[in-house]
């Protein structure tokens, strides 16, 4: 809903992602602030930022599969792993990053289709179980393949990212690199919502029988939702490979998949804003509490066990509280806040 006085002369204006000047200025300021972060932040914080951008890409993919199409996926970490191994392998052929990233994404998307096929017959918890199979199979397959393919038990080293002859190894450069990729993928996720495919996914999510009656090929849409969600995972995987500079099957666990899903649920599954807020909220909470623990540790003679156990309890409690007080996700709270500002000084609800 838009406040009185904002109207559109043509369809193009109404279909814009950023409909008002205020929205465009806000986004420009946000991007400027993100670009300025390396001027103020430490190398550690830049690392946290880069990892948060990579996580955001993976969670945006999950938003497409789960939030838009309603297909439960608890194997997003395994798909990120597929992207990471694909990128690590492609990098050994000396390919540039702008070829590696799309190829890794495509390979991941194709792999995900295999696990999306059961979506033709099952849904809900049953579909969740089939994606769990993907997560369980991932390390078994990587370890079982000949070691000269994907490193087998050892894993694969990855050379630092190069842009021509320019190394992107330093925290500042890698921060900018992941920021740019995350901005592109975020734009893509928002854009999906106003596409035919995006609307079809939402129709299938809301009622797949009704969607079919309306002429939507529900099976194709469900499989495509996995494919597109995994394209995001593949991009996140390629960035992860350059971030860790070493990929092993052990880095892509079910636990991480659950965290991705948790971020999406806390943020709100049905909007890309939810993915952004969920990743920001959980990352800030984890890092903030951890930083507090580290500070206490530095100023005490304790060896740290109790302090960090307390921070983990606080992390769990904060997530619980967020879900109790805003079960529709932080994105809903964000929308309420946005409307309040738009309608100020008039009450809007």
Partner 1 sequence: MRLLIKGWVAAAMVTGAGVALSVPAKAAEYVMSASADFSGPFADVMPSAMSGITAITNWWNKDTGQKLGVKVNIKIYDMRYDAAVIARTWPSILSSDHPIMHLGFGSPDLTTLMKRLPNDKVPMIIGTAMVGLVWQPKGWHFSIRPTYSHEFGALLAKLQKDKGDKLKIGAVSTQTAAGFVDQVKGVEKLASMYPDRFEVVDTQWVAASPVTVTNNIRDMLEKKPDVIMVGGTTAQVIATAAALDELKVHIPIISSSHNGLSEAGKGGDLSKLEGDYSVFSFAPDNQKELPLRDIYLANKEGDGKWGLIADQSAAQALLALRVLEKAVAKVGPDKVTGEAMYDALLGNTYSEKDLLGALPTLKYDDTAPFPIGEIKAKAQIVKDGKIVPLGDAWLDAPKLDKW
Under the rule (CB under 8 A), what is the footprint of partner 1? 42-44, 46-48, 50-51, 139-140, 143, 153-155, 157, 170-171, 240, 243-246, 248-251, 290, 293-294, 297, 301-309, 311-312
The angle formed by the CA atoms of residues 337, 341 and 343, to the nearest 5 degrees, is 115
From CA 326, how far away is CA 269, in angstroms rounded? 13
- How far apart, in whole angstroms, are the C-alpha atoms of residue 241 and residue 80? 10
Residue pair 54/240 in contact (Cβ under 8 Å)? The answer is yes
Residue number with CB closer to partner 1 (72 or 282):
282
Length of the chain: 349
Nearer to partner 1, 120 or 309 (CB): 309
The distance of closest approach from Cβ of residue 43 to partner 1 in the complex, given in angstroms and rounded to an integer, is: 4
Whichever of 164 and 305 has its CB closer to partner 1, that residue is: 305
Q: Phi-psi bin for 145: left (phi > 0), alpha (psi -120 to 50), beta?
A: beta
Q: Between 95 and 254, whose beta carbon lies closer to partner 1? A: 254
- In the complex, the smallest distance separating the C-beta of residue 234 from partner 1, rounded to whole angstroms, is 18
Phi, psi of 304 (to 5 degrees): 110, -15
- Main-chain dihedrals φ then ψ at residue 183, nearest 5 degrees: -65, -45
Minimum distance from residue 93 beta carbon to partner 1 (Å): 18
CA angle 155, 160, 162 (to 5 degrees): 135
- Quote the CA–CA distance of 120 and 57 in Å, as a whole number: 26
CA distance 127 to 74: 9
Residue nearer to partner 1 on the CB measure, 147 or 195: 147
Question: Rounded to whole angstroms, how far apart are CA atoms 9 and 11?
Answer: 7
Based on CB atoms, which residue is closest to partner 1, 186 or 240? 240
Q: In 3-state terms, what secondary structure has residue 163?
A: strand
Q: Annotate 186-218 with b (16+ C-beta within 10 A) or e (fewer).
A: bebbbebbeeebbebbbbbbeebeebeeeebeb
- Looking at the Cβ atoms of 172 and 339, the one nearer to partner 1 is 172
Q: How far apart are CA 343 and CA 347, in angstroms?
A: 7
Question: What is the smallest separation between the CB atom of 245 and partner 1, expressed in angstroms?
Answer: 6
Q: Which is nearer to partner 1, 211 or 239 (CB)?
A: 239
Minimum Å gap between C-beta 285 and partner 1 is: 13
């Amino acid at each position: 809903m838009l406040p009185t006085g904002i109207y559109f002369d043509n369809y193009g204006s109404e279909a814009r992602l950023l409909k008002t000047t205020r929205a465009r200025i806000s986004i420009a300021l946000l991007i400027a602030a993100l670009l300025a972060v390396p001027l103020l932040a430490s190398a550690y914080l830049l690392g946290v930022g880069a990892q948060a951008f990579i996580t955001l890409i993976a969670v945006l993919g999950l938003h497409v599969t789960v939030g838009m199409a309603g297909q439960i996926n608890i194997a997003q970490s395994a798909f990120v792993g597929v992207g990471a191994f694909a990128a690590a392998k492609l990098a050994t052929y000396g390919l540039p990053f702008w070829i590696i990233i799309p190829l890794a994404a495509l390979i991941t998307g194709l792999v995900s289709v295999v696990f999306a096929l059961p979506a033709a017959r099952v849904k809900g918890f049953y579909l969740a179980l089939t994606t769990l199979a993907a997560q369980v199979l991932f390390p078994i397959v990587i370890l079982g393949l000949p070691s000269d393919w994907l490193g087998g038990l050892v894993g694969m080293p990855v050379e630092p990212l190069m842009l021509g002859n320019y190394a992107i190894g330093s925290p500042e450069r890698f921060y900018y690199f992941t920021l740019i990729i995350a901005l592109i993928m975020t734009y893509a996720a928002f854009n999906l919502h106003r596409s035919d495919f995006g609307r079809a996914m939402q129709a299938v999510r809301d009622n797949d029988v009704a969607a079919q009656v309306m002429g939507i090929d529900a099976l194709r849409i469900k499989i495509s939702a996995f494919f597109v969600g995994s394209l995001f995972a593949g991009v996140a995987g390629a960035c992860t490979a350059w971030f860790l500079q070493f990929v092993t099957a052990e880095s892509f666990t079910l636990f991480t998949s659950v965290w991705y899903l948790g971020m999406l649920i806390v943020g709100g599954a049905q909007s890309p804003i939810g993915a952004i807020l969920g990743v920001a909220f959980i990352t800030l909470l984890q890092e903030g509490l951890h930083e507090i623990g580290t500070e206490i540790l530095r100023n005490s003679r304790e060896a740290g066990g109790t302090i960090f156990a307390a921070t983990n309890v606080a992390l769990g409690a904060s997530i619980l509280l967020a879900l109790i007080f805003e079960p529709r996700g932080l994105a809903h709270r964000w929308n309420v806040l946005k409307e309040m500002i738009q309608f100020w000084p008039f009450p809007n609800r």
